[in-house]
Amino acid sequence: MNPFWSNIFRGTGYEDSVAYFLSTIPIFEDLKPKELKLLEGMVHTRTYRPDEVIFHEGDIGSGMYCIRSGQVSIFNNDSAGRAVEQAQLGPGDFFGEVALTVQKPRIATARAVEPTVLLGLFRADLHEAINKYPAVTSKILLGLSRCISDRLQYAALKLHQFGSNSYPPADRE
């Protein structure tokens, strides 16, 4: 094909942009392209080597991460100090989102399994944006609230299933 014509039919590369990637994350799915561009300017790209710790259980959380590429293991240590994996996350997954709203200790450790690129959105940047872009940050916070609510409901259902399957029914007289 003539190079002149191939350029006309080639995509703009938007699908490879950070803004497009962020639009695929449930917290940010209601943002418009212009709002995603603002968010793109707020996130920080971090690269991790295999087995590099992103954060430790007990660290005070400062923000959330979205996995652009690679794999992340989320785990806790048991009483013998052995890692017990809770989840393995990949591209398009996110974690640590509660830290956007509160300064609390992390409840698990996150570690890169392979070369991994993360986009971090940190509480300090979000707080700064609240004054500059209140409409955009309101959408982000509503998306965050929706995702945390979904995860809380899922956890409650799992606990209910665990509770009802783990204990024998009470004796009735």
Looking at 33-90, which runs of residues are DSSP E strands? 44-48, 53-55, 63-69, 72-77, 83-89
CA distance 66 to 119: 5
Domain membership flag for residue 6 = no
Length of the chain: 173
N- to C-terminal Cα separation, the chain: 84
Domain membership flag for residue 4 = no
At 80-97, the pLDDT tens digits run 989 899 999 999 999 999
Domain membership flag for residue 10 = no
Domain count, the chain: 1
Burial (CB count <10 Å: 0-12, 13-18, 19+), residue 46: middle
Domain membership flag for residue 171 = no
Query: By residue range, what is the domain housing residue 78?
Result: 16-164
Full-prediction pTM beyond 0.85?
no
At 35-94, the pLDDT tens digits run 999 999 999 999 999 999 999 999 999 999 999 999 999 999 999 989 899 999 999 999
